[in-house]
Structures are given as structure tokens and as C-alpha cells.
Amino acid sequence: MNRVTSTLDRVVVVLLGLALLLGGAWVVAWAQGWLPDGWWSPRAFLVGPVPGGWTGADWWSTALLVSGAVLTVLGLVWLVRHFRSDAIEALSLVGDPHGGNLLVEGGALASGAAAALEDGSPDVTKARGVVAERHRRLVVDLTAAIRRDADLQEVGRLCDRVADGVARVTGRSDVACRVRLTVAPRAGRAPRVH
């Protein structure tokens, strides 16, 4: 998913989640009679073919209370599930022989791997990364922008060296390294010097 799609997804999720949350809270407050009279607090709803509406039935306030609580819980669950981060803050390394506990920050590992990509070839113009859990596996997820005329074989060998370096540094066999290559945007024409 690209950045624009991801941003749009998050905006839509926030709006729908807030609508569910506020709608559920409004229904609960209205069913309990906590709202003052007004256009946003009707006295009755006429729904369906039942003469006089359903609001006169004994079960109506209980049904509204339950549905409002369900809407509120759904809204909260939806918001929490969509904003849960898969990023790993710290990663344990293979321990030292003295029984110590070695940790590396996920951001430091990812930024180091990204810097190795940038410094390894002039064809790589920019790189960034994150350590995340993807399908129950730890992945150093890197994205590198390369020049349009880049030597792809050289860049491929560089990506392999960086992935080997990640495996060597962490000492863990369950950590994978994924590098996505994008083409850098076309640079503007250089100004002429007279």
C-alpha cells in the first residue's frame, strides 16, 4: 500500500470510527433520557409499518441501549485495531556467553541498514526502513529510491550484502530483510553556470 492510500485509509477509518463512537454514545444518552429536548433529541421515531411507531413498546429503550453500547464498542475496537503499530521497538540479540541480555532498538537497526544502502552505491539516492512484525515474522523492511539509470545488478548485490549484514548483526535466523526499490523522481535540470 503506498503512502497516499495508507493516509486515505487512516482518514476514512478515523471518520467512520468517530461516527460509530459518537453515534453509539448518542443512542445510549438518548435512550437513558440524558439529552435535553431539541431537534437532536426526538421524542419518538416512527419506524416501519407498526401504527404509532415502535417507541411506545416496552422493549424499545432496552433495544436502543444495547444497540448504542454495541455501536460504541465497535467504534472503539475499530479505532484501536487500525492504529495498532506493527513496528518493533527493541529486538533481542543472541546473548553473550556470560548470560547477558543484548537488545538493539528497531529504529537503530533499520536506520543503520538504510544508511548502508545509501552509502553503498551512488545509484541509491535515499533509503528508509522500519523493523516490523509481518505475518508473525520479524522483518527489516527497507525502501530505497534509485536513479533511473541505475545498474540493477549492482543494486541487487548491494541489497544482498545489506541483508547479510542484518542477519550477521542480529545473529537471529528468524529475522528477514526485505528491500523495495522505487525509482527516484526525475531531478530538475541543473542551472547553467556562465
The CATH number of the domain holding residue 125 is 3.30.70.1350
Q: What is the pLDDT of residue 192?
A: 47
Q: 37 in a domain, yes or no?
A: yes
Name 73's Cβ contacts closer than 8 Å, sequence gap at least 6. 24
Q: What is the 3-state secondary structure (H, E, C) of 86-148?
A: CECCEEECCCCCCCCCCEEEHHHHHHHHHHHHHHHCCCEEEEEEEEEEECCEEEEEEEEEECC
What pLDDT digit, counting tens, does each position of 89-106 carry?
A: 787 777 656 655 777 888
For 162, the domain range is 90-183
Shared-domain flag, residues 101 and 44 = no
Domain count, the chain: 2
CA atoms lying within 13 Å on the CB side of residue 130: 8
Shared-domain flag, residues 97 and 130 = yes
Q: 192 in a domain, yes or no?
A: no
Q: Which of 82, 109, 139 is the last residue of a domain?
A: 82
Shared-domain flag, residues 148 and 69 = no
Q: 117 in a domain, yes or no?
A: yes
What pLDDT digit, counting tens, does each position of 53-100 carry?
A: 556 667 777 888 888 888 888 878 877 776 666 677 787 777 656 655
